[in-house]
Structure 1
Amino acid sequence: MTPPNPAANLPAPYVLADHPALDLLNTVMMVDGRKTDLLNSDEQASTWLAQAGFGPASLPSAKGGVLLSNLRTLRDAVEVLVHARREERDADPSVLNSFLRDAVPQLRWGIHQLELDRFHHKDETSRQLARLAYSAAKLLAEGDFSLVRKCESPDCSLMFYDRTKSHKRRWCSMALCGNRHKVAEFRKRRQGQAG
């Protein structure tokens, strides 16, 4: 008999932060009160990259745990840099830069189409990671960090970029934490009226 796989019961990572670098950080989230990594295989990493808009879900070069390991390394580096930027302190971008270093712009010439390939790479996996690293670097260098926030729910660790018109977004998602908060507030009011 095969033992149950605890990763099989995990939710799929959410893509709701309004920025792919923050969505990457959100692949580690609170599940049953514990911080849990939602990416546990090359297949899950590849699927997440596709959901975040970085290419096809099936990558032939994503084997042997290499993609997962590289994506986790990138995520850890981005997390350190995002927190340092939010706290206005110094940090070392060398790991993030290592993902950018080999991405070299190239002109692709076709008879009917010219294209500037900004992230030319030897394989699609490296290209996707370089594009994600560039997105994170762009957020770190140009983003308005007064709009980079953590969900206000004490039980949630998800982050987001507040692109709302009023810049008053409080929750990772109204369907998740926002709704839980509304229900909790409703119950408090009801208990106050009954007492």
Structure 2
Amino acid sequence: MADTLQPEAGAAPLIADHLALDMLNTEAGVGDAQQDFWRSSHAVLDWLTRCDIDAGQPSGPAADALLRDAKVLRAAARDLITRRMEGEKGDPALLNRYLAAMVSAPVLVWDEAQPHLVRQGEAPSPARALGVLAEAVATLLAEGDFTLVRQCEHPECVLWFYDRTKSHRRRWCSMALCGNRHKAAQFRARNRSGA
């Protein structure tokens, strides 16, 4: 399964339709096939860039801290989301520490003839980037429809997704990954039984 999880060499798939769930999917697989796509601070930075989140260019101890803190945030998010799915109460204290890095102010921007408010924060930094992830988790927990938060139905897959399909019947992390594997397995089973 590990080779089917990699849309790019060594990159976590971005297939969840929600940033918080894509973050959970940076750790995938089961048993011996378990894979952590965040093996280095460079891998975390690449993933953040793919998600259009600027963390600046940390190096040395700041880069090491980014890797450590990203994994701590991911574990906290997994715990909170799992508890929410099970109808249990979670402790948001750790998540709130990451949210505190989201210092921003409203700014009026006048594009063309229409003014609108945007929030601008400090310069890009690892703490701010993780704050963006924490905000996605908090938004999912507070406003998400948890009947649409699911894990892939393939028995060898643990990837999460937010079912935004019109019929809300999405079963697979990706039709190209697990959906096709399931169809192929069913086809092989039918051919064996018909032979």
Q: CA RMSD in A?
A: 2.4
* Residues 107, 164 of structure 1: alpha-carbon distance in 2 compared, 3 angstrom cutoff: closer
Q: Partner of 1:133 in structure 2?
A: 134
SS of 2:141's equivalent in the other structure is helix
| SS in structure 2 of the partner of residue 106 of structure 1 | strand
2: CA distance, partners of 1:93 / 1:102: 15
Report the equivalent of 1:61.
58
Count matched residues.
183
Q: Provide the rounded CA distance (Å) in 2 between the counterparts of 1:61 and 1:108.
A: 27
1:38-59 deviation per Cα after TM superposition (whole angstroms, max 9, x unaligned): 1111110001011122136xx3
**1:121: Cα distance to partner?**
3.5
Q: Matches of 1:128 and 1:119 in 2, distance apart?
A: 13
Name the structure 2 match of 1:71: 70
Identify the structure with bigger relative contact order (alpha carbons < 8 Å, sequence gap 6+). Answer: 2
CA distance in 2, matches of 1:115, 1:42: 35
> What does the per-residue CA deviation read over 1:147-172, in whole Å, with 9 as the maximum and x for residues that have no partner?
00000011001000000000000000
Q: Distance in 1 between matches of 2:65 and 2:117?
A: 28
Superposition deviation, residue 33 in structure 1: 4.1
TM-score (norm 1): 0.84
> How many percent of aligned residue pairs carry the same amino acid?
43
**1:192 is matched with which residue?**
193
Is 1:105 the equivalent of 2:117? no
Asked if 1:36 corresponds to 2:35, the answer is yes
Give the gaps of 5 or more residues in structure 2. 1-8
Unmatched tracts of structure 1, length 5 or more = 1-9
Taking structure 1 as reference, are residues 182 and 110 closer, same or farther at Cα in structure 2, changes over 3 Å only? closer
Give the AA of the match of 1:41. Answer: S
- Listed as ranges, the matches of 1:42-191 within 5 Å are 42-55=41-54, 59-64=56-61, 65-107=64-106, 118=119, 120-121=121-122, 123-191=124-192
**In structure 2, distance between residues paired with 1:84 and 1:47:** 29
TM-score by length of 2: 0.84
Q: Alpha-carbon deviation of 1:105?
A: 2.3
Which residue identity does 1:11 align to in structure 2? G
Separation (CA, whole Å) in 1 of partners of 2:107 and 2:97:
24
Deviations 1:50-86 (A, max 9, x none): 1122136xx3225431111111111011000000000
